């Protein structure tokens, strides 16, 4: 494999010394970039874009051509596994993802397709290997999956939800059925991430987008437990390097000690959590990723720079911080404001890494 020229991101995840704080953005390949919109139009649809390795590689590389990011992230979707299980994923304009089938009964669960990531999601692995080749060692490549609980929410609800009433009703009233679904999904997610590492992913992120919708007890039983199951099966090394795992639970700031004990090397935090407090609680166990409010990118470049300075100062000196947004970048952001964001991290962070 090609030697990695910039390993700042991987080193920071492992709490090793770096010269400055590394940066990447969730959804950094996306609709805020005009070149992304042009490529998606060329592909015909979002799913067609995901399934075309060359075009998925192209949109993965687009933000790296504009900004000196310290990592690339695979361009795909968290709902590839439910789609492969036979639920029929499609997207409605303005309404997000939808499934033609749902899982709300024993019969629905029994009716799911068998799953083998290498075969059923070979288009994702093709994209990973294509992107890794194109990166040519410039920066590491992040692979990812949705968490078992987050995938379950879409599979039971049939799409996005505001109240999660169907999936929570299943969890609280039919816990045995819910645990069977989550076990199936945890094993599928682990298989999927293992194959991504084989194809060339150098770090992994588990997106637990809807873990924060649960109660404290519910989170540990239905979300965290199954992420631990996934992480316990993942390879610790590939190509002679550690493969760090990041767990990101949106809305999970109140459960940081439990999340830090799940086996991941890094914990992503959203913008509702104070990063100084997070470091004080768990910074001795794991690195932290985050956590500027994505909406800050609508502010002026001067205000963005001020916020970056505030977050860097709050984290303080020493390694173990990957700068990111507290959730994905939103489509209406001016790309020039991203330039201000990345420049500020690059220019202001070295002072926190001097001995």
Residues 97 and 45: beta-carbon distance below 8 Å: no
Q: What is the DSSP letter of 331?
A: T
Band the pLDDT of 15: cuts 50, 70, 90: very high
Q: What pLDDT does residue 91 have?
A: 87
Of 36, 67, 154, 192, catalytic: 154
Residue 1 lies in a domain: no
Q: Is 163 annotated as a binding residue?
A: no
Q: What is the count of structural domains for the chain? A: 1
Alpha-carbon distance 99 to 90, whole Å? 6
Residue range 310-339: mean pLDDT, rounded: 98
Nearest CA to 333 among 13, 66, 28, 5? Answer: 28
pLDDT digits (tens, 9 = 90+) for 191-211: 999 999 999 999 999 999 999
Beta bridge partners of 208: 249
Nearest CA to 256 among 289, 229, 295, 234? Answer: 289
132 is catalytic: no
pLDDT digits (tens, 9 = 90+) for 212-271: 999 999 999 999 999 999 999 999 999 999 999 999 999 999 999 999 999 999 999 999
Residue 16 lies in a domain: yes
| Domain membership of residue 263 as a residue range | 8-353
Residue 3 lies in a domain: no
Residue 171 lies in a domain: yes
Q: Is 30 annotated as a binding residue?
A: yes
Residues 6+ apart with CB under 8 A from 209: 78, 146, 147, 150, 250
274 is catalytic: no
pLDDT at 95 over 80: no
pLDDT digits (tens, 9 = 90+) for 126-180: 999 999 999 999 999 999 999 999 999 999 999 999 999 999 999 999 999 999 9
Considering the chain, what is the average pLDDT of its residues? 97
Q: Is 209 annotated as a binding residue?
A: yes
pLDDT at 355 over 80: no
CATH number for 289: 3.20.20.210
pLDDT at 40 over 90: yes
77 is catalytic: yes
Q: Is 77 annotated as a binding residue?
A: yes
Residue range 7-23: mean pLDDT, rounded: 98
Three-class SS string for the chain?
CCCCCCCHHHHHHCCCCCCCCCECCCCCCCCCCHHHHHHHHHHCCHHHHHHCHHHHHHHHHHHHHHCCCCCEECCCCCCHHHHHHHHCEEEECCCEEEECCCCCCHHHHHCCCCCCHHHHCHHHHHHHHHHHHHHCCCCCEEEEEECHHHHHHHHHHCECCCCCHHHHHHHHHCHHHHHHHHHHHHHHHHHHHHHHHHHCCCEEEEEECCHHHCCHHHHHHHHHHHHHHHHHHCCCEECCEECCEEEEECCCHHHHHHHHCCCCCEEECCCCCCHHHHHHHHCCCCEEEEEECHHHHHCCHHHHHHHHHHHHHHHCCCCCEEEEECCCCCCCCCHHHHHHHHHHHHHHCHHHHCC
Residues 221 and 258: beta-carbon distance below 8 Å: no
Residue 2 lies in a domain: no
Q: What pLDDT does residue 96 have?
A: 83
Of 77, 83, 120, 191, catalytic: 77
352 is catalytic: no
Q: How many CB atoms lie within 10 A of CB 78?
A: 18
Residue 28 lies in a domain: yes
Band the pLDDT of 1: cuts 50, 70, 90: low
233 is catalytic: no
Q: What pLDDT does residue 92 have?
A: 75
Q: Is 123 annotated as a binding residue?
A: no
Of all residues in the chain, the percent with pLDDT exceeding 70 is 99
In this prediction the pTM is 0.97
Q: What pLDDT does residue 172 have?
A: 96
Q: What pLDDT does residue 191 have?
A: 98
């Amino acid at each position: 494999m090609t030697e990695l020229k910039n390993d700042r991101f991987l080193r920071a995840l492992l709490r090793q010394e770096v010269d400055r704080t590394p940066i990447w953005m969730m959804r950094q390949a996306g609709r805020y970039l005009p070149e992304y919109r042009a490529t998606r139009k060329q592909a015909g649809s979002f799913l067609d874009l995901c399934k075309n390795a060359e075009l998925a590689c192209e949109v993965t590389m687009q933000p790296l051509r504009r900004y000196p990011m310290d990592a690339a992230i695979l361009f795909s979707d968290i709902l590839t596994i439910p789609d492969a299980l036979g639920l029929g994923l499609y997207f409605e304009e303005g309404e997000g993802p939808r499934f033609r089938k749902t899982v709300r009964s024993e019969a629905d669960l029994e009716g799911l397709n068998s799953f083998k990531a290498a075969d059923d999601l070979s288009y994702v692995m093709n994209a990973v290997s294509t992107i890794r080749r194109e990166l040519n060692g410039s920066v590491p490549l992040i692979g990812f999956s949705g968490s078992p609980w987050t995938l379950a929410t879409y599979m039971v609800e049939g799409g996005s939800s505001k109240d999660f009433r169907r999936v929570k009703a299943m969890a609280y009233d039919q816990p045995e059925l819910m645990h069977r679904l989550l076990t199936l999904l945890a094993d599928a997610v682990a298989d999927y991430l293992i194959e991504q590492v084989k194809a060339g992913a150098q770090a992994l992120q588990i997106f637990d987008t809807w873990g924060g919708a649960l109660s404290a007890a519910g989170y540990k039983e239905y979300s965290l437990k199954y992420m631990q199951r996934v992480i316990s099966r993942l390879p610790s090394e590939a190509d002679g390097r550690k493969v760090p795992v990041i767990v990101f639970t949106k809305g999970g700031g109140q459960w940081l000690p439990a999340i830090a004990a799940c086996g991941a090397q890094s914990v992503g935090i959203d913008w509702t959590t104070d990063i100084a407090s997070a470091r004080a609680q768990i910074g001795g166990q794991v690195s932290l990723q985050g956590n500027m409010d994505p909406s800050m990118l609508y502010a002026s470049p001067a205000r963005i720079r001020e916020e970056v300075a505030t977050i860097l100062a709050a984290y303080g000196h020493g390694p173990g911080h990957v700068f990111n947004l507290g959730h994905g970048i939103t489509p209406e952001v001016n790309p020039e404001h991203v330039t201000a964001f990345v420049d500020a991290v690059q220019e202001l962070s070295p002072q926190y890494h001097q001995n």
